[in-house]
Amino acid sequence: MTEIVDHLLFLDLALVEPAFAIAFRRRLERRLAQGDKEARIAGYTWMIVSGWAFVVAVLTWWIVAGRSATSLGLAVSGGIPFAVAMTASALVALLLLGQARSARSMTSDDARSLRRRLGPFDAVMPRTTGERSAFFGVSVTAGFCEELLFRGFLIAYFAQWIGWWQAGIASSVLFGIGHAYQGPAGILKTTTVGMVMAALYVFSGSLWPSIVLHTALDVQGGALGYEALRRAEPEAGAEHALPTVTSLAAP
């Protein structure tokens, strides 16, 4: 049964978080423009802390409301759909992590080409070993927290009125809107990614396949960005490119 807290959590994800993400992006942009060398670490730290704080709040509410972990997608099923989804996610994750490792051998030309393709992601990518380690924390946070919030909670919220597949689509649209600071292309891309994650969840009955895949995607992105920036020659204005971060750690 839906209660006022559920509606408040929904409104936060649908309205507050997207607005906060835009404000957070602008603040990080200003700090980078001013030459603040700690801006990225501070941003990564905030994404990690705020992401897990939100999840702890949701989990606490779930327990207080007497709801099961299964209804939030945290169960591990022994069925065939779960085994298929988990195997597929693990294989893709291994492929992504393999690509991340192979990035260490990219040439300077490859690095410059990749850096140009980074576009607005340039500013948020790690430049130092310390930032790379912190970005790994961001990736793990995004993998777990965003899946629990946007897939686990939102699908359960919407499914009270519409079917599970329709709830998956609705949650994916909100996931895309939450990345509105990335522009129309960013909304479309993240909505599409959200639909893939929602399909994994609805098909398998568990968030764990999408958590594994989401985490691997972000780890790969951070590793490729780090290697590209480390090998490419500095480009004018790179430090002032618009960062792409959210308070829920979705780089």
The answer as to whether 56 is a domain residue is yes
Q: What is the mean pLDDT of the segment spanning 139-155? A: 96
The answer as to whether 88 is a domain residue is yes
**Phi, psi (deg, nearest 5) at residue 165:** -65, -40
Q: Residue 14 corresponds to which tokens in the numbers above? A: 């649908």
Cα distance between residue 232 and residue 110, in whole Å: 8
The answer as to whether 251 is a domain residue is no
The answer as to whether 249 is a domain residue is no
Structural contact between residues 202 and 235, judged by C-beta atoms closer than 8 angstroms = no
Each residue's pLDDT tens digit, 149-189 = 999 999 999 999 999 999 999 999 999 998 877 778 878 98
The answer as to whether 27 is a domain residue is yes
120 confidence band (pLDDT: 50, 70, 90): low
Of 6, 1, 3, whose CA–CA distance to 57 is shortest? 6
The answer as to whether 175 is a domain residue is yes
Describe the crossing of helices 164-177 and 183-204 by its angle, rounded to 10 degrees: 150
Helix, strand and coil in the chain, % to nearest 5: 80, 0, 20
Number of domains in the chain: 1
Give me the domain span that covers residue 196. Answer: 4-240
With b meaning 16 or more CB within 10 Å and e meaning fewer, what string describes 64-98? eeeeeeeebbbeeeeeeebeebbebbeeebeebee
Q: How far apart are the first and last CA of the chain?
A: 34
The answer as to whether 250 is a domain residue is no
Each residue's pLDDT tens digit, 40-76 = 999 999 999 999 999 999 999 999 999 998 999 998 8
The answer as to whether 202 is a domain residue is yes
